[in-house]
């Protein structure tokens, strides 16, 4: 109905004013020679008619401008990257129509969802958008509204622009993301008869088949026990890191932390990034941004179900070093992740979880009478919400994930990281 009535130029207010002024002009102005209502009716009908003419002409001019611009296909307007939370100029503009007085022009984005700011500059209305949710689209649909300043007339048009737009998650105030370093075989020179990963000299009890020249006879003389020297396994940081982003309610801070970790090299020199909703893993920064953008389309109940397949695909039998970025608000994803991590320990490694938040606040206090008489329902949080989480919510996430690995919490709004004693304090607040 909105699209059908969009080109109709008269608003309900304009229809009411037009009928009222017409009735006053005919019935009282001409019929009873009421000069006051005669003037009011004539002026009202004149303003409505002028507004209708100006609105129709303005809408036609803007539609022709957009059509001509679409046919020209300006090469300077290619793909667009928009960082969530910040105004970004898109290059889209419309003329101000100064020759048509009393005409107001505005528009908004229908697909994808984004807040639009219109900045007048040099006879043009230039567009800036602010996105709150990451994602990517190939078509932008705008709804243009042209009307008079009195609100009597208005024409709504749909403007479609084929353009690749990618919304990337914001890093906020975060300056760094520290993740644990896993260990693997080192590069030191090993004993000729030992494995290539390490060097001598570890001590262990003698077993049949060990070379006699490795026996420590001085130790045998004192303790009467045969002890041999064995190659010691040298350890060094793992070069490749497996990172994964879990999609769920309030996952924008986690996606922003993952983007910062990739850009700053916190994952190491060699890394691979996966996310819910994407079967293609990223090994470059540009691929990582695409993977993060595609994860925004994942439904909330499905979040976290791809973690097990990712670790099996990239772990190659041993997890080694794995970092999982998760939301700070509990949801269906939490049970999915806990289920996927049950057999992590048997595959030779533990996972480090990075919990992303946009602020941590204490839960609202309720009186004992309200707690007994009223059942409080959890509010529905939109997927792209940047609302802070409560201490109880983040403590529940930390408690569940601590069974599978090490947990750190990052606050994107404040640019802080919490681990160790801070997390224990959250757990105590939750228990209290």
Instruction: Give residue-wise pLDDT tens across range 315-346.
Output: 654 556 789 999 999 999 999 998 888 765 54
147-165 pLDDT, tens digit per residue, is 999 999 999 999 999 889 9
Question: What average pLDDT does this structure show over 264-281?
Answer: 87
pLDDT averaged over every residue in the chain: 81
Which of 46-50, 82-86, 236-240 bottoms out in mean pLDDT, i.e. has the lowest?
236-240
All domains in the chain, ordered by first residue? 2-168 (no CATH), 189-235 (no CATH), 239-431 (3.40.50)
Task: Pick the more confident residue, 187 or 338.
Answer: 338
Cα 250 to Cα 389: distance, rounded to the nearest angstrom: 9
Instruction: Give the pLDDT score at 417.
Output: 85
CB atoms within 10 A of CB 175: 11
18-62 pLDDT, tens digit per residue, is 999 999 999 988 888 888 999 999 999 999 999 999 999 999 999
The whole-angstrom distance between residue 415's C-alpha and the CA centroid of its chain comes to 16
Question: Percent of the chain, pLDDT > 90?
Answer: 37
Question: Percent of the chain, pLDDT > 70?
Answer: 78
Cα 340 to Cα 326: distance, rounded to the nearest angstrom: 14
The span from the first CA to the last CA of the chain, in angstroms, equals 53
Question: What average pLDDT does this structure show over 370-384?
Answer: 53
CB atoms within 10 A of CB 400: 18
Instruction: Give the pLDDT score at 367.
Output: 63
245-260 pLDDT, tens digit per residue, is 999 888 999 999 999 9
CB atoms within 10 A of CB 122: 7
Q: Is the pLDDT of residue 145 over 80?
A: yes
Q: Is the pLDDT of residue 76 over 50?
A: no
DSSP secondary structure of 355-378:
EEES-EEPPPP--HHHHHH-PPPP
Instruction: Give the pLDDT score at 75.
Output: 42
Which of 37-41, 184-188, 303-307, 411-415 bottoms out in mean pLDDT, i.e. has the lowest?
184-188
Q: In this structure, are strands 405-411 and 416-418 parallel, antiparallel, or unpaired?
A: antiparallel
Asked, as a colleague might, if the bond just before 112 is cis with ω within 30 of 0, I would say yes
Q: Closest Cα to residue 40, out of 14, 16, 22?
A: 22
Instruction: Give the pLDDT score at 241.
Output: 81
Q: Is the pLDDT of residue 200 over 60?
A: no
Cα 418 to Cα 262: distance, rounded to the nearest angstrom: 20
Cα 113 to Cα 110: distance, rounded to the nearest angstrom: 6
Instruction: Give the pLDDT score at 389.
Output: 87
Instruction: Give the pLDDT score at 69.
Output: 81
Residue partners of 178: CB distance under 8 A and separation at least 6: 266, 408, 417
**Local confidence band at 244 (pLDDT 50, 70, 90 cut-offs):** very high
Task: Pick the more confident residue, 375 or 26.
Answer: 26
H-run or E-run covering 135: strand 135-148
By the 10 Å C-beta count (0-12 exposed, 13-18 middle, 19+ buried), 48 is classed as buried
Instruction: Give the pLDDT score at 140.
Output: 92
Instruction: Give the pLDDT score at 432.
Output: 54
| Cα dist from 65 to 31, 96, 109, 156, whole Å | 47, 12, 18, 15
Q: Is the pLDDT of residue 89 over 90?
A: yes
């Amino acid at each position: 109905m909105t699209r059908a009535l969009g080109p109709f130029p008269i608003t309900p207010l304009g229809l009411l004013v037009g009928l009222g002024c017409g009735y006053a002009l005919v019935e009282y102005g001409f019929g009873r020679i009421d000069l006051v209502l005669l003037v009011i009716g004539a002026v009202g009908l004149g303003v409505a008619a002028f507004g209708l003419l100006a609105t129709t002409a303005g809408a036609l001019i803007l539609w022709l401008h957009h059509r001509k611009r679409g046919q020209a296909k300006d090469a300077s307007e290619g793909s667009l990257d928009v960082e969530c939370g910040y105004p970004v100029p898109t290059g889209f503009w419309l003329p101000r129509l100064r020759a048509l007085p009393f005409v107001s022009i505005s528009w908004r984005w229908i697909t994808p969802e984004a807040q639009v700011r219109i900045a007048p500059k040099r006879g043009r209305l230039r567009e800036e958008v602010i996105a709150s949710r990451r994602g990517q689209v190939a078509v932008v649909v705008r709804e243009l509204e042209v009307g008079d300043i009195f609100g009597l007339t208005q024409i709504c048009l749909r403007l479609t622009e084929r353009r690749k737009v990618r919304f990337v998650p914001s890093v906020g105030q975060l300056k760094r993301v520290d993740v644990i370093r896993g260990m693997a075989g080192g590069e030191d020179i090993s004993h000729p008869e030992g494995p290539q990963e390490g060097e001598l000299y570890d001590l262990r009890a003698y077993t049949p088949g060990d070379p006699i020249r490795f026996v420590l006879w001085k130790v045998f003389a004192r303790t009467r026990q045969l002890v041999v020297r064995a190659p010691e396994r040298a350890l060094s940081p793992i070069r490749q890191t497996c990172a994964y982003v879990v999609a769920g309610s309030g996952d924008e801070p986690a996606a922003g932390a993952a983007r910062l970790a990739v850009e700053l090299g916190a994952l190491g020199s060699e890394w691979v990034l996966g996310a819910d909703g994407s079967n293609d893993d990223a090994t470059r920064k540009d691929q990582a941004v695409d993977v993060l953008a595609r994860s925004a389309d994942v439904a909330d109940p499905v979040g976290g179900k791809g973690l097990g397949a990712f670790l099996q695909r990239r772990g190659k039998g041993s997890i080694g070093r794995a970092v999982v970025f998760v939301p700070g608000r509990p949801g269906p994803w939490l049970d999915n992740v806990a289920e996927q991590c049950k057999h992590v320990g048997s595959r030779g490694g533990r996972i480090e979880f990075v919990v992303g938040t946009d602020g941590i606040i204490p839960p609202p206090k309720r009186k004992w009478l309200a707690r007994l008489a009223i059942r409080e329902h959890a509010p529905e949080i939109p997927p792209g919400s940047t609302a802070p989480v409560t201490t109880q919510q983040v403590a529940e996430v930390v408690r569940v994930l601590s069974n599978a690995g090490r947990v750190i919490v990052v606050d994107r709004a404040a640019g802080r990281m919490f681990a160790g004693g801070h997390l224990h304090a959250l757990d105590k607040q939750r228990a209290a």
